[in-house]
Amino acid sequence: MLLACAGSLFQTGIAQNTGKWHSYLAYNRTTSVAEGNIRVYALADASLYSYGKEDKSLHYYSKESGLSDNEINCIGFNSEENKLIVAYSNGNIDLIGEDRSVYNLPSLLNSSNVQDKTVYSICNYKETAYLATAFGVIVLNVGKKEIKETYKLNVSVSSLAILDNHIYALTPDGIRRASMNDNLIDPANWYDYPILTSEGEKDTVLQLCVFQNTLCLLIKNKGIYYQSENTTKQLLSHASLSNIKTENGKLIAFSANELHIYSSFTEKDKGSIAGIADVSSLKDNQTFWLASGEKGLTGIRRTGDNQYQIFADNAINEGPKRNLNAFMRMHNNKLYIAGGGRWADRLNRTGTLMIYDTDSLKWNNLKDISRFTDATCVAVNPKDENHYFVSTWGEGVYEFKDGELAKLHNHTNSTLNTIYPGTSVAPNYVRTEGVCFDKDGNLWMTNTEVADVVVVRKADGSWTKLSYPSISNPTLADKILIATNGHKWVNLVRANKRGIFVFDDKGSIDNTSDDTFHYYSSLNDIQGNDIGANEFYCITEDKKEQIWIGTNRGVFIVALPSRGVEGSMSGSRIIHTDEYGNLQYFLADERINAIAVDGGNRKWLGTGSSGIYLVNEDGSEIIEHFTTDNSPLLSNIIESIAVNDYTGEVFIGTDKGLISYMGDATKGSENYSNVYAYPNPVRPGFDERVIITGLMDNSTVKITDPRGNLIYQGRSAGGQISWNCRNRNGNPVATGVYLVFASTPEAAESVVTKIAVVR
């Protein structure tokens, strides 16, 4: 009898996505909009999404769905060629068809002659798009999908307009004009164009556009002006207009709360709508699409003079609130993200706490609260997952209960200290970092630039602090790792008192007289040689209780961490053989920002510039190396990593947002009572891998045919292994039922499941 798949629908979905990527990007603040034929395109938090005008569907775009890059700077729709132009912050350019096809134009990205490749705005003129850039103008022939010309003006251009075969460019030095019959590659053929009014100076013009064969200007704090009969006249006096544009034969001007629409220089309509960031109307001149900030995308229709009705309202609230991922932690299948930041000083990032439930696939974004800034770490109460604490780089530790702020703990009501006691700024300098619970429910944390670095909120709610003079007043005390043996590890990242501090409180938090501890200002290998690291970014304990430390000189592994408190700690660095056969230290000159351990005790290493590595248990073998060049990874700068041991999903926090990779390692089971394979049966056309999960840790797995002929043999990564439905010669197996045997070194081999293959 064929064995049916025992997994849930969710598990089956995960199986089919093993080895696949998924972006979790913020779409919280919609800032740009461009109407197409069948879809309306919107830019939110540097990410692209679209709304179907007929089917009302939302579609999200990312690298895994076909985009060539990440972090979009601006968009524009060329109605002549029905293509969306997407300009990225690094200068890369995509052309997207309404069938979602993507054509990449990497010329600017790959140019070595331009340093700042920012594209500020896009001016569409017939089949051509003119791009205003940090160095001049790019002429893009959308129909031919090629960059036709580049005009290096050696000055930034923020806005462009084309009138009477002339091109107008807005620069910080005023407006430049050139005849399109001239050689525009030569900067000498561009001339200053004066503003013929005393109302505006050259640096007060914000935007250019052409309306009814007339050049129009938006002048800061003044309003709209237009050129007429060798003079500049005012069309609309308005101090807070943010932009003007011409679309579908209308001049559209708007502020944050007002929309002004001109059909001619004497006919105007006005609408009062809150939260306007951008407007587009390319098809129906009675219909307008608004980028509405945190309200998402809004469609409005004119119903009468100065009367507009909302007919589409799409706020995006199903993803993370912001693309900030300084710290991540998994707890009970939930991903907790703190999106703060700090280095020599705080980064003043709005307090960001985001929780992703990997079972329900839903996000819970904590609402913004006053003075909650630069969140650095999250600790979840092991007895109540709705009770958690968030450290910040200035205000102390925030306590939350059921999604609501319960209390702020700082220098006034706890043993936390401020850098500047007795001053008016004291509440803004209670710098806390690592927060974590021990097995008894005590909350441990670090307090930076003060005498007593280690602070504890005990399980009964009382507070204490531990005094260790050897690490007093550090510049940056980072996280606390509580090892399996109860020892605490603190990484002191940089500058003053940099290094690693290890201590054992002996279970008596209030009595430090019996504590053993040691401060290491440097790390030495087993030969006693200093590895040369002077910045210490992260500490992780693996499944064999070894300590892995990420430094600015690669990874340092402590095989006998119990010796840390004795002052005799030594460790090793990973040695690999390079392509020429020479031995070298792995990532010796790379910054390791994050280390995570998966279900197979393999290590995910997040670097400061080289993407993310997956290495085997001891680091001797590179299993995967993902960068932006060979994967959908959002950035090569990795800030944090968290692994879901139950599904194998690896969450990767980058400086440009969150993405995950569905790994093939899960937490090992205690026995073989719940082993299953999926998909099962394997149907014709399936060309991926079958996942066998629910195994005990590090199992030897054999797959045979009913006659006992060995088809495949391997070792599980934690509690999971994959099989590509091929035999040992690499050929696809025939239709039939295949037996899966599993064993650990301590257990007898037994059949744990069966797999049916149908060809």
What would the pLDDT profile of 438-471 be if each residue is shown by its tens digit? 999 999 999 999 999 999 999 999 999 999 999 9
Within-domain flag for 452? yes
Please give the share of the chain, as a percent, with pLDDT higher than 90: 84
Per-residue pLDDT, averaged over 717-737, amounts to 92
pLDDT of 7 above 60? no
Q: Which residues pair with 193 in a beta bridge?
A: 175
Residue 178 binned pLDDT confidence (cut-offs 50, 70, 90):
very high
pLDDT of 17 above 80? no
Give the count of domains, the chain. Answer: 3
Q: Which of 211-220, 538-547, 744-753 has the lowest mean pLDDT?
A: 744-753
For residue 266, which of 281, 245, 255, 251 has the smallest C-alpha distance? 251
Within-domain flag for 198? no
Pairing of strands 136-141, 128-133: antiparallel
Within-domain flag for 30? no
| Residues 683, 757: Cα–Cα separation, whole Å | 6
| Cis, bond preceding 172 (omega within 30 deg of 0) | no
Pairing of strands 258-262, 250-254: antiparallel
Return the pLDDT at 6.
30
Per-residue pLDDT, averaged over 426-440, amounts to 96
Residue 197 binned pLDDT confidence (cut-offs 50, 70, 90):
low
Return the pLDDT at 201.
67
Within-domain flag for 382? yes
Return the pLDDT at 579.
79
Within-domain flag for 297? no
| Residues 110, 119: Cα–Cα separation, whole Å | 15
Grouping H, G, I as helix, E, B as strand and the rest as coil, residue 13 is: helix
pLDDT of 1 above 60? no
Return the pLDDT at 196.
65
pLDDT of 199 above 70? no
CATH of residue 330: 2.130.10.10
Q: Quick one: 625 exposed, middle or buried, by C-beta within 10 A (0-12, 13-18, 19+)?
A: middle
Q: Which residues pair with 60 in a beta bridge?
A: 49
For residue 376, which of 124, 640, 168, 173 has the smallest C-alpha distance? 640
Return the pLDDT at 200.
62
* Per-residue DSSP letter, 617: T
Within-domain flag for 114? yes
Q: Is residue 251 a contact partner of residue 210, using CB atoms and an 8 Å limit?
A: no
Q: Domain end: 466, 484, 507, which one?
A: 466
pLDDT of 509 above 70? yes
Query: What's the distance, CA 294 to chain centroid?
Result: 19
CATH of residue 709: 2.60.40.3110
Grouping H, G, I as helix, E, B as strand and the rest as coil, residue 407 is: strand
| Mean pLDDT value across the chain | 92
pLDDT in tens, 117-173: 999 999 999 999 999 999 999 999 999 999 999 999 999 999 999 999 999 999 999
How far CA 84 is from CA of 36, 104, 723, in Å, comes to: 8, 12, 41
Segments forming the whole domain that contains residue 155: 66-193
Within-domain flag for 228? no
Q: Domain end: 140, 163, 193, which one?
A: 193
Report which of residues 226 and 201 the model is more confident about. Answer: 226
pLDDT in tens, 96-131: 998 999 999 999 999 988 999 999 999 999 999 999
Structure tokens at 601: 């005790």
| Residues 223, 217: Cα–Cα separation, whole Å | 8
pTM of the complete model: 0.89
pLDDT in tens, 22-65: 999 999 999 999 999 999 999 999 999 999 999 999 999 999 88
Q: Domain end: 140, 166, 193, which one?
A: 193
Within-domain flag for 544? no
